[in-house]
Structure 1
Amino acid sequence: MQRGDLDNSKILFETGLSVAPNDAKGHFYYGELLSRQGQSDLADQQYAIAAKLGGTGPIVDKAKAKLPSTYHVRPGDTVFSIAVEHGFNYRDIIAYNHLDISPGVSQVNLPGTLLIPPSGYSYTGSGF
């Protein structure tokens, strides 16, 4: 799909959702489009709306599977231990939570809660 096609698709979704704002399926597929464009924060918002609107069914299940979960940090937790506990690489947890961790730092004060990425998430950047 070319850039112009993605822009046109985005406009179509936005127009459709302005007419039918309670369409869970529309929010889910708009989230899919945003995700393909690399706009994961906006995609997560659309998945959350779809999950909230949908009640039950396969679209709601798919939307919920795309959402992060919340983890409450306990004393002694490390980024590495949290990542291992949830089946991720520590880089995934750092990137998904936008943690500012400098190379070579062994102790980090973690916030009270962290987001655990949805299954299938994998950090592909560099710098850790």
Structure 2
Amino acid sequence: MAPSHARRYRTSAPVRERRRKARPKKGGKAGNQGIFHGAREVFISQRYDDYLEAVSKNRAAQDKFWRDLFQDYWSTFPWRLPLDQEPDEEGDWDEPEELTEELEKEKQEIIQRTQKVRGQ
């Protein structure tokens, strides 16, 4: 005889249906929604063909692609702009006049986290 903890109890179809109906609907698409929406999504999708071309070439071409991509990205989307806001929305997201040591550290951390490529 199998130990009692190994038994599997099956619920009936009516019980499963009742439980399913009792759960609130979450709505929306399941899974990770990603971070590229709106203008950022357009920016990335416009460079997809360049990406495919770069990955078929040597390492120097790939590095140049990433360097150019990030340079364009940061000029279009300031580092202080939250991911859920578009660049044309109200807000002072331009580079501040003076970067304090704390702001400079925050800027470098954001850029470094964003620019992780190839699992570095």
Q: TM-score band, normalised by the shorter chain?
A: under 0.3
- Tell me the TM-score normalised to structure 1 length: 0.24
Q: Which has the higher contact order (CA 8 A, sep 6+)?
A: 1
Which has the higher Rg, Structure 1 or Structure 2?
2
Quick check: which one's strand share is greater? 1
